[in-house]
């Protein structure tokens, strides 16, 4: 066992030996990707002169919380209200998406009929269409339904945007579960709906948590959808649209830009760091079961 552990510790999943150059390249890539986040965090606590003259410098003695407090109390952008709207949007989108996709994925995964295989391909094709491409037609549909510039209209659109990925992941996971579970439940008198809610869904907790987290990241970071669907007349704004409205496109006051951006990304960054192991374990669960 110790020999196997030592072997797997020195080799990748494909069996190739990981050299020091490989680790150096990965480290350099990670550091390069962290540069924007470093600049955001460091400059959120600096004065305008320090940001312009020494943006990369790390001088704790010159740090101040004044600009961060000013960004939190910005009269043009109530960030607490933006948090509330965004969190409500995240919860509603996930409830609709998971509640609709779980039964659909169960039917697709368990039915041998070719029409359900075609339905899965139809949903998968939706993953390759950017949501920005269909925003204009969606606006016409929402306007015809009277849901334009409303919170329910935004929830319906963003939930539908998460449907292809959610059904794809749920279907793959359910196919890894043995069909004997369904047969045993049928012998005990359970119908398809009871089997889904009492047997299949409890086993899907890892993948449901993964989908919830990934959908949360997608909804939180989306800018175009809430900006166009809610609009300025609704009185509602998410964190991303609020930042855009308060900071502006050509703002040169970096003591307002950096602290506001930091407050906008900090919650979702903390969520991702705390839940990344659930994301990885959920995505790998199907492969492990297979």
The full set of domain ranges for the chain reads 79-289
Position 157 scores a pLDDT of 93
- Least confidently predicted of 242-246, 260-264, 280-284: 280-284
Position 7 scores a pLDDT of 37
Q: How far is the C-alpha of 175 from the C-alpha of 111, rounded, in Å?
A: 10
The encoded tokens of residue 254 equal 């970096």
- Least confidently predicted of 13-22, 44-53, 94-103: 13-22
Please state, in angstroms and as integers, the Cα–Cα distance from residue 38 to each residue in 58, 219, 244, following that order.
Answer: 10, 24, 21
Q: What is the mean pLDDT of residues 133-145?
A: 89
Q: How far is the C-alpha of 66 from the C-alpha of 60, rounded, in Å?
A: 14
Q: Which residues pair with 218 in a beta bridge?
A: none
CATH number of the domain at 79-289, please?
1.10.3720.10
pLDDT surpasses 50 at 189? yes
pLDDT surpasses 90 at 11? no
283 confidence band (pLDDT: 50, 70, 90)? low
pLDDT digits (tens, 9 = 90+) for 200-226: 888 888 888 889 988 998 999 888 889
Please give the angle made by the CA atoms of 252, 258 and 261, to the nearest 5 degrees.
115
- Least confidently predicted of 4-8, 43-47, 88-92: 4-8
pLDDT surpasses 50 at 4? no
Among 129, 108, 126, 127, CA closest to 117: 108
Specify whether the CB–CB gap between 162 and 93 falls below 8 A: yes
Position 275 scores a pLDDT of 76
């Amino acid at each position: 066992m110790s020999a196997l552990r030592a072997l797997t510790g020195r080799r990748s999943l494909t069996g190739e030996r990981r050299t020091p150059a490989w680790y150096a390249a990965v480290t350099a890539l990670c550091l390069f990707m962290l540069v924007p986040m470093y600049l955001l965090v460091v400059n959120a606590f600096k004065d305008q002169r320090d940001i312009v003259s020494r943006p990369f410098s790390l001088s704790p003695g010159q740090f101040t919380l004044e600009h961060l407090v000013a960004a939190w109390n910005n009269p043009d952008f109530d960030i607490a209200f933006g948090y509330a709207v965004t969190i409500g949007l995240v919860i509603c989108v996930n409830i609709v998406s998971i509640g609709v996709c779980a039964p659909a994925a169960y039917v697709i995964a368990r039915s041998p009929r070719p029409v359900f295989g075609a339905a899965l391909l139809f949903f998968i094709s939706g993953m390759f269409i950017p949501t920005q491409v269909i925003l204009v037609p969606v606006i016409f549909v929402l306007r015809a339904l009277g849901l334009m510039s409303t919170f329910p209209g935004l929830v319906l659109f963003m939930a539908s945007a998460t449907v292809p990925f959610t059904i794809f992941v749920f279907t793959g996971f359910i196919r890894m579960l043995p069909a004997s579970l369904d047969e045993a439940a049928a012998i005990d008198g359970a119908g398809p709906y009871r089997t889904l809610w009492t047997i299949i869904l409890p086993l899907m907790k890892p993948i449901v948590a993964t989908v919830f987290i990934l959908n949360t990241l997608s909804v939180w970071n989306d800018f175009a959808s809430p900006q166009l669907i809610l609009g300025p007349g609704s009185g509602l704004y998410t964190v991303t649209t609020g930042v855009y409205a308060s900071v502006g496109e050509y703002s040169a006051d970096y003591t307002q830009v950096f602290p506001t951006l930091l407050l906008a990304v900090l919650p979702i960054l903390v969520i991702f760091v705390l839940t990344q192991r659930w994301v990885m374990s959920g995505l790998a669960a199907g492969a492990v079961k297979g």
